[in-house]
């Protein structure tokens, strides 16, 4: 099931990502020099970028994993340990990936810019294109700002926040259901119909575990998806829980809580 506060968590993540990236962007532009060269950026900057992203994302990864595992019926010491273990590893991976892909993205954008201006020179250029063709990227230009913002701007931060929220929410729910009710073939892939389903997710929608696992072993998002994937797994465990709630509507919240704290009881209901 989707977390009731998913949007809020994602916004929190995007805000955090955005703030750190903006700060890095300002420093990056200062270091880049004129004409801008990637070689002017010291390795220390990239290392610090990875470390800061790691540090800033740790708490929110921990929060999303915990909320997801709690929401899917797993609490206690083991659940807490799983959450901190995940946040530890994933924040390292994320920090490193963010730093490496920032370098690659910037270099590619720079190459594209130079190729573009060279192309304009080669084909019958207008006078204006002639002027632009000989130009180097200069701080303050629209092109310069556009390239910096591709790498450090809020759009990229928001895109990554969506993916990381989905990935962490899936990790939390998969771990929770595995530890309690058990993973099941009837755990279905669901798309929230937010209009952003990509062609990788589309064939998985409403399919059972054996169909989606080869494409996305850890659940949504699939590793190769390019959409803002907000798909989630609808667990048999949750559907059983909903069924019990309907069967025993007069149960108090406390009675229900006691019942669901014993996964074996839930399993019996399912079978
Ligand atoms: Zn998706």
Distance 66 CA to ligand 1 centre (A): 22
- The CA 159 to ligand 1 mean position distance, Å, reads 13
Q: pLDDT grade, residue 218 (50/70/90)?
A: very high
Cα of 199 vs centre of ligand 1, distance in Å, is 9
pLDDT at residue number 135? 61
**Ligand 1 mean position, distance from CA 200 (Å):** 7
pTM: 0.84
The rounded Å distance from CA 193 to ligand 1 centre is: 10
Calpha distance 152→254 (Å, rounded): 47
Residue 72: pLDDT over 60: yes
Q: Report the C-alpha gap between 234 and 220 in whole angstroms.
A: 11
Evaluate the CA torsion angle 173, 174, 175, 180 in order and state its sign.
Answer: positive
Highest mean pLDDT among 29-33, 64-68, 112-116, 250-254: 64-68
Per-residue pLDDT reduced to its tens digit, 104-126 = 999 898 888 877 765 555 555 55
Confidence of residue 137 (pLDDT cuts 50, 70, 90): confident
> Phi-psi bin for 119: left (phi > 0), alpha (psi -120 to 50), beta?
alpha
Mean pLDDT of the chain: 86
pLDDT of residue 134: 53
How much distance in Å is there from the Cα of 208 to the middle of ligand 1?
Answer: 15
Q: Output 271 or 103, whichever has higher pLDDT.
A: 103
Specify the DSSP class assigned to residue 227. Answer: S
Is residue 102 very low, low, confident or very high in pLDDT (cuts 50, 70, 90)?
Answer: very high
Average pLDDT over residues 15-39: 91
Instruction: Tell me the CA distances in angstroms from 113 to 32, 40, 106, 188, 223, one per residue in order.
Output: 16, 18, 11, 45, 29
| pLDDT recorded at residue 266 | 58
Residue 149 vs residue 257, higher pLDDT: 149
Instruction: With a cut of 80, say whether residue 81 has pLDDT above it.
Output: yes
Q: Find the distance separating the first CA and the last CA of the chain, reported in whole Å.
A: 21
For the CA atoms of 211, 94, 146, 29, what is the dihedral angle to 10 degrees?
-170
Q: By mean pLDDT, which of 48-57, 81-90, 115-124, 240-249 is the weakest?
A: 115-124
Contacts 24+ apart (CB under 8 A), 98-107: 98/49, 98/50, 98/53, 98/160, 99/46, 99/47, 99/49, 99/50, 99/53, 100/46, 102/24, 102/46, 102/49, 102/151, 102/152, 103/38, 103/46, 105/150, 105/151, 106/38, 106/147, 106/151, 107/38
Distance 108 CA to ligand 1 centre (A): 27
Lowest-pLDDT range of 3-7, 18-22, 139-143, 183-187: 139-143
* Banded pLDDT at 195 (limits 50, 70, 90): low
Say what the pLDDT of residue 264 is: 61
Angle between helices 77-122 and 43-71 (to 10 degrees): 130
Question: Would you state the pLDDT for residue 104?
Answer: 93
What pLDDT was estimated at residue 267? 57
| Distance (Å) from CA 250 to ligand 1 centroid | 37
Q: How far is the CA of 198 from the centre of ligand 1 (A)?
A: 7
Residues 6+ apart with CB under 8 A from 224: 200
pLDDT at residue 247 tops 90 = no
Ligand 1 centroid–CA 76 distance in Å is 30
pLDDT at 66: 96
């Amino acid at each position: 099931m989707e977390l009731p506060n998913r949007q809020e968590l994602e916004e929190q993540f995007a805000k955090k990502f955005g703030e750190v990236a903006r700060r890095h962007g300002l420093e990056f532009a200062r270091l880049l020099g004129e004409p801008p060269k990637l070689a002017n950026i010291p390795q220390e900057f990239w290392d610090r970028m990875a470390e800061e992203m790691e540090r800033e994302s740790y708490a929110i990864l921990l929060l999303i994993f915990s909320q997801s595992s709690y929401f899917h019926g797993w609490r206690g010491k083991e659940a807490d340990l799983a959450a901190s273990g995940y946040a530890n590893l994933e924040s390292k991976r994320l920090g490193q990936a963010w730093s490496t892909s920032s370098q690659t993205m910037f270099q590619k954008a720079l190459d594209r810019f130079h190729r573009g201006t060279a192309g304009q020179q080669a084909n019958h250029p207008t006078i204006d294109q002639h002027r632009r063709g000989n130009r180097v990227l200069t701080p303050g230009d629209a092109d310069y700002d556009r390239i910096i913002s591709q790498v450090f701007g809020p759009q990229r931060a928001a895109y990554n926040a969506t993916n990381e929220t989905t990935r962490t929410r899936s990790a939390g729910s998969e771990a929770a259901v595995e530890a309690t009710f058990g993973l099941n073939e009837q755990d279905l892939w669901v798309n929230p119909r937010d209009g952003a389903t990509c062609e990788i997710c589309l064939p998985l929608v409403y399919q059972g575990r054996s169909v989606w696992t080869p494409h996305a072993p850890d659940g949504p998002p699939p590793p190769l998806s390019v959409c803002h994937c907000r798909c989630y797994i609808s667990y048999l465990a949750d559907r059983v829980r909903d069924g019990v709630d309907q069967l025993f509507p007069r149960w108090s919240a406390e009675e229900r809580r006691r019942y669901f704290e014993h996964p074996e009881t839930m399993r019996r209901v399912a079978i």
